[in-house]
């Protein structure tokens, strides 16, 4: 007698990845919230979606959309994410230096990692870092667990990153070459 096949009953994976268009952007659904308004005939539901979009080569953005249907909320959020994309400093598949980003109550610590470490992060932080194209990083969410604040704090942290030559240029210093001599 064949055993019946059961579907897993856990929470469904919210980080579904979809190809947005031919430009190479990927979108990840970080969180979908359902809100109920009680009216005379019963409950009326509306939805909000938090989306992260990135091109895997240093550009990432997040968007928030609300609608009466999930698909419409996701579409609005993805359009918003594409408009809000920022450039991120990436060095050899990791970040150039340690940084803490804050937004509202959310605080996120990002540390560079050696090649092969992978993305050690969870939830919204992982979605943002992967969309930006960073493959090796250590992350810790220190403050609020609110999805929107964590995602925005991660983007704030990534936007604070600077490359070494950029910092030397700001300080008016000569960039040292690899063999120890000034160039």
Reported pTM: 0.81
Rounded mean pLDDT of the chain?
86
Q: Where are the domains of the chain?
A: 17-83, 88-168
Buried b / exposed e across 60-75, counting CB within 10 Å, b at 16+? Answer: bbbbbbebeebeebbe
Over 70: is that where the pLDDT of 58 sits?
yes
Residues 178/154, Cβ–Cβ less than 8 Å: no
CA distance 6 to 23: 39
| pLDDT tens, residue by residue, 145-158 | 999 999 999 999 99
pLDDT reported for residue 172:
86
CATH no., domain 17-83 = 3.30.160.20
| pLDDT tens, residue by residue, 123-147 | 899 999 999 999 999 999 998 999 9
Q: Is 165 helix (H, G, I), strand (E, B) or coil?
A: helix
CATH no., domain 88-168 = 3.30.230.10
CA distance 74 to 56: 20
CA distance 162 to 174: 16
pLDDT reported for residue 167:
84
């Amino acid at each position: 007698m064949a055993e019946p096949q059961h579907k897993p009953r856990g929470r469904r994976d919210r980080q579904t990845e979809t190809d947005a268009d031919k430009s190479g952007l990927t979108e990840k659904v970080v969180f979908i919230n359902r809100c109920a308004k009680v009216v005379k005939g019963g409950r009326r539901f509306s939805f909000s979606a938090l989306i992260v979009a990135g091109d895997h080569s240093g550009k990432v953005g997040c968007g928030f959309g609300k609608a009466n249907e999930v698909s419409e909320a996701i579409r609005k959020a993805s359009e918003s994410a594409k408009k809000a994309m920022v450039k991120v400093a990436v060095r050899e598949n990791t970040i150039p230096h340690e940084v803490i980003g804050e937004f509202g109550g959310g605080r996120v610590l990002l540390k560079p990692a050696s090649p092969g470490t992978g993305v050690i992060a969870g939830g919204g932080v992982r979605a943002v870092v992967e969309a930006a194209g960073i493959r090796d990083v250590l992350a810790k969410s220190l403050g609020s667990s609110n999805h929107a604040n964590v995602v925005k704090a991660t983007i704030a942290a990534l936007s604070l990153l600077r490359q070494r030559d950029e910092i030397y240029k700001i300080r008016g210093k000569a960039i040292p070459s690899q063999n120890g001599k000034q160039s």
